[in-house]
Amino acid sequence: MPLFTTDALVLRTYQLGEADCIVVFLTRDRGKKRGVANGARRTKSRFGGGLEPLTLARLAYYERERRDLVRLSYVDPVSSPLAARDGESLGYVSYFAELLDECAPEAEPNDTLYRLGAAVVESLRGDVPVEPLARYFEYWVLRLQGVYPSLLACGACGGDLSGGGRLDPGGDGLVCRGCAGQQGVLLSGDAVGFLRGVAGTPPGRLADIGLSELAGRELEQAHRRLLAVHLEKELRSVKVLRAMGRV
Ligand SMILES: [Zn+2]
C-alpha cells in the first residue's frame, strides 16, 4: 500500500460504525479524497481535534488497490478554524467547508481551489470581516467553476457596468441597467466595484476594498442564486446560517 503525505483541508466527517469515521479532505496535489480514520471517535484518538471541518493539516494516507476509500495514517493540524476570533466567523466554517466539498470533484487535482480554501482559513483567524470574506469566497469558488458572469461588460450589449446592473443566472449573466429586465438580482455600482476589486486582491487585504451593507446584501442574494442554479440545490449550512439570522 503506497503512503502519500500532503497538505490538505479537512472538509467533513461521517460516522463509520462505533469508533471510526470517514473523512472527506481536499489535498493540495491530488484533489478531494475520502479516507477512513480508524478509532477517530474514541476519546483518546490519535487524530485528536484534527478532523474539524476546515482544519488545515499535514496528513498521510495509504491508498488501497482498486478502492476509492483511502486509510488515514495521521493528521497533524497546522491551522484550525477553531482559533477564529468570534462565534460569527465559526458559523461560516461549515458553510465554507460545504461549498468546497460541493465544488471539488473527486480525485481531480485543483491547486487553485486548494490555495483559495487555505487562504480563507488563514483569513478567518485574522482581522478580515467575515461577511466580505464570504462574498469573496463565493465569487472565487464560482469563478473557478467557470460560472461567474463576466464583470468586464454587459452580457447583452457589451456596455459599461460601472453603474451597476442585474445578475440573472438563467439569462445573459450580468447585464447593464439599460438591458435589464425584471429577472435576476439588482447589483449596485458599489457591488460591481467590490467584485472587480476582489478579482485582484488576496483575502487578507479585503479590508482595503470595503463593502457597504447594501452591496453586501445584494451580492449575498446574487451568489445564493448562482450557487442554487449551479449546484441544483440549497446547501445544508445555508439553512444553519439562516437560523442564526445571518441570511
Ligand atoms: Zn447592456
Cell 449575498 sits on residue: 220
* 153, 141 Cβ separation under 8 angstroms: no
C-alpha 170 – ligand 1 centre gap (Å): 16
pLDDT tens-digit series, residues 125-173: 877 888 999 999 999 999 998 889 999 999 999 999 999 999 988 788 8
C-alpha 153 – ligand 1 centre gap (Å): 8
Residue 20 scores a pLDDT above 80: yes
What span, in angstroms and rounded, lies between the C-alpha atoms of 212 and 128?
A: 15
Q: Domains plus CATH for the chain?
A: 1-126 (2.40.50.140), 144-232 (no CATH)
Name 32's bridge partners. 26, 106
C-alpha 172 – ligand 1 centre gap (Å): 10
Give the start-end residues of each E strand in 31-130: 31-37, 56-62, 69-79
* 99, 235 Cβ separation under 8 angstroms: yes
Query: Confidence class of residue 246 from pLDDT cuts 50, 70 and 90?
Result: low
* Nearest to 25, CA basis, from 91, 71, 85: 71
β-pair type (56-62, 69-79): antiparallel
C-alpha 81 – ligand 1 centre gap (Å): 42
* 79, 222 Cβ separation under 8 angstroms: no
pTM over 0.85: yes
Cell 465544488 sits on residue: 103
C-alpha 218 – ligand 1 centre gap (Å): 19
